Amino acid sequence: MGRTIFGKLMLTYLSVILITLAVLAVLLSLLFQSYYFYETEQTLITHGQQINNLVLKYLNDQITRQELEYAVKTLDRALNAEIWIVDAHGNIYFDSRPFEEQWFGNYLEGKEIEQLKKAEIITRIGRFGNRFNLPVITVGVPLFIDQEVQGAIFLHSPVFGVKNALKPIYRIIWLAALIAVIFAALVNYYISRKFSRPLQELSRAALQVASGKFEEKVEVLTSDEIGHLAKTFNYMAEELGKLERMRQEFIANVSHELRSPLTSIRGFIQGILDGTITGQHQERYLKIVFEETNRLTRLVNDLLDLARLESGSISMNWSNFDVNELIREVVAKLEPQIREKQLQIELSLEERPTWAYADRDRVEQVLINLLDNAIRFTPEGKKIKLEAVPDGDKIVVAVTDQGIGIPPEELPYIWQRFHKVDKARTRSKGGTGLGLAIVKRIIEALGQTISVESELNRGSRFSFTLSATKG
């Protein structure tokens, strides 16, 4: 039982409750005992004073000795208390119960005699010397004659009598404690189960998720920490499910992207080897094989770049460089594709250098990817605009095309690996589906942001920031 959270909570709560109730029961018992002893003492003091009045009547010849003894013995039986009348020196003059001659004598201590001389009331709990075999509650009331202390009246009530009178109260206290323990145990069971059941559900759901069932959910019943934990678990399971789907899609996409060119290469080479493709056509098909090989090379390089970027293993070579100069270099590198489609390039750059602090090679890779996408998806004769605009401590670099645009519902997904808005067109135009994913991760690795604005059939604008510097 103690190995589970439920068992630990039960044991802990019950232990605390039992100890608390036991201490409370003991304290209540002591409190009642103290109160009962006090009440008994007060009762004995009151009757002691009554006996004092009887003695005075006896001394004044108002009652006889027999009447005095009868009255004292009657009080003895009523109070269950042995009554003594002693002189000023502590010698017993009268005892309400039968006694042997040997019992006569002085049973008072010097301290008690002094108290009597000062007219103080004596209270004691004990055996009163060796006079009693069991503890008694003793009260000594000064005996006044002619306003002087001439002795005392002692009343001795057995302690066991008080304790016997308290037994019903003790039984009530311990019975109430037992009922409280049972009630507390039931409440504790409910609370412990309320805490442990969601954790058991979480444990069960975690095993399901570990086995690959990411659709498993935990019911959220409360808004406390456990409810928050259940919500977090459900969110984790959902994200793991997304990651698993992405992994499966990634494997499927990579397999597809590799299989297509490999199938083409294998088919053409096999045709050349078995003579299906004659010598006059071999050069043409070898060029296709060469292009497919280049496509495979680009795909593998993009996959390696993306893997290194996502793992954080790529180190950035930070330096100051002129963004305007870099943009012009990128345009020059892609000049053949631009001329092939007769595209117009508009450069919106400042005449003076625009200095940025970043990894120049990686920024060049971003610009090549964005401009290459713009060239491939912009119809012939249309315009592409590149700009670099200082904005405070940032530089906003943008590539705007007049291409096919991106549907609004596709915009959140364009940064994902192998996501292609138009798969047929993308494949025919030589894209791998990894360019934008690489671009986004490079910009994030530089600590900057990238965004896109697009209107279907009117074009797109990709913009990203760089840290500005003075060069």
| Closest by CA position to 314, among listed 371, 369, 359 | 359
Given 138, 164, 190, the domain boundary residue is: 164
**Bigger pLDDT: 83 vs 197:** 83
CATH number, domain at 256?
1.10.287.130
The answer to the question of residue 216 being in a domain is: no
User: How is residue 215 annotated by DSSP?
Assistant: T
Count of domains forming the chain: 3
Place of tokens 């460089």: 321
pLDDT at 99: 58
The answer to the question of residue 52 being in a domain is: yes
pLDDT at 242: 80
**Model confidence pLDDT, tens digit, residues 21-74:** 778 778 877 887 788 888 888 989 999 889 989 988 988 889 898 998 899 899
- What's the whole-number mean pLDDT along residues 309-338? 89
**Bigger pLDDT: 469 vs 90:** 469
The answer to the question of residue 50 being in a domain is: yes
pLDDT at 229: 81
pLDDT at 421: 64
**Model confidence pLDDT, tens digit, residues 224-249:** 777 788 888 888 888 888 877 777 77
Q: How far apart are CA 384 and CA 400, in angstroms?
A: 6
Q: What's the domain range around 147? A: 5-164
| Closest by CA position to 376, among listed 422, 328, 408 | 422
- Answer yes or no: do 336 and 435 share one domain: yes
On the question of pLDDT at 102 being above 50, the answer is no
On the question of pLDDT at 145 being above 80, the answer is yes
Q: Which of 273-287, 298-312, 433-447 has the highest mean pLDDT?
A: 433-447
On the question of pLDDT at 424 being above 50, the answer is no
Given 277, 307, 337, the domain boundary residue is: 307
pLDDT at 400: 96
* Residue-averaged pLDDT of the chain: 82
On the question of pLDDT at 313 being above 70, the answer is yes
pLDDT at 176: 80
Cα separation values, 145 from 91, 149, 409, Å: 17, 6, 114
On the question of pLDDT at 425 being above 70, the answer is no
Q: What percent of the chain has pLDDT over 70?
A: 90
| Closest by CA position to 112, among listed 104, 124, 103, 122 | 122
**Close Cβ partners of 133 (under 8 Å, ≥ 6 residues apart):** 127
- Answer yes or no: do 423 and 441 share one domain: yes
The answer to the question of residue 211 being in a domain is: no
- Answer yes or no: do 421 and 302 share one domain: no
pLDDT at 269: 84
- Other Cβ atoms less than 10 A from the Cβ of 465: the count is 20
